Amino acid sequence: MRVLVTSDYRALSLQAAQIVAEAVRLKPDLVLCLPTGNTPLGMYEDLVRRHRQEGLDFSRVRTFNLDEYIGLGPDHPGSYRAYMRLHFFDHVNVAEQNIHIPNETESDGYEQAILEAGGLDLLIVGIGANGHIAFNEPGSSFASRTRAVALATETIANARRHFDNEADVPLTAVTVGIRTILEARQVLLLASSADKAGVVERAIRGPVSESLPASALQLHPNVLAILDQAAAVSFR
Ligand code: F6R
């Protein structure tokens, strides 16, 4: 796995956006697999800027999100669909019919849609404090594909701050699997802040194990990890 250490979160975000922008310019109908969460916010912001200022054209790009909570209406502000609209889709020209977000009833259909699109060209992931990628929590099989999963206690606790009511905090989600992730042609792993330093080091340098889902990325031939200084203490 190649590791790129950037000076700070802004540099990480610009670097990630640059890689996405170049891939879109090279292949205008790129198949992109996209994360939510805090880490990619700066990347989305810079992609929106590039669309506005440089005319970066997403009109033929196909997008597949990594995951979505189960049980929230599509307009629920805590849903990943709402996040994607707020931070990206509403500000660029991705065509509505090219947007794919997994849902509980169609998880096999999601894998089929990825296949029909020609497979994932570029997949971007963050990493959870417990080593999850997408919502593949510790213990997930490396052979897993898109499916409904129970969220780890720690993941549920972290999600709490995004929901007004305790009762709305999702306990389950639909996520692409580890196998789905490993089949993408290129993977970008983004990690920012000191909170992630320990788990990032174990994911990149530690043993490959289903107890640390992100370690599966060591099995992929084309992964670039972009870390800011704080997340990269052991890589300087
Ligand atoms: C989000 C996702 C999650 C996050 C991870 C890190 O679509 O799949 O695995 O990437 O929980 O989240 P942040 O970036 O908020 O630290």
Rounded to the nearest 5°, which phi and psi values hold at 183? -85, -10
Over residues 129-154, mean pLDDT? 97
- Closest ligand 1 atom, CA of 37? 15
pLDDT, residue 21, reads 98
- Closest to 225 in 3D by CA, of 178, 181, 192: 192
The residue contributing the CA closest to ligand 1 atom 5 is 128
Which residues, judged by CB distance below 6 Å to any ligand atom, belong to the binding site of ligand 1?
Answer: 35-39, 66-67, 126-128, 132-135
Q: Is the overall model pTM greater than 0.85, yes or no?
A: yes
- Closest ligand 1 atom, CA of 196? 16
Measured in angstroms, how far is the CA atom of residue 29 from the centroid of ligand 1?
25
Assign 3-state DSSP to the chain and report helix, strand, coil percentages, each to 5. Answer: 45, 20, 40
CA distance 20 to 135: 22
* Per-residue burial over 24-47, b = 16 or more CB atoms within 10 Å of its CB, e = otherwise: beeeeebbbbbbbbebbbbbbbbb
pLDDT, residue 159, reads 92
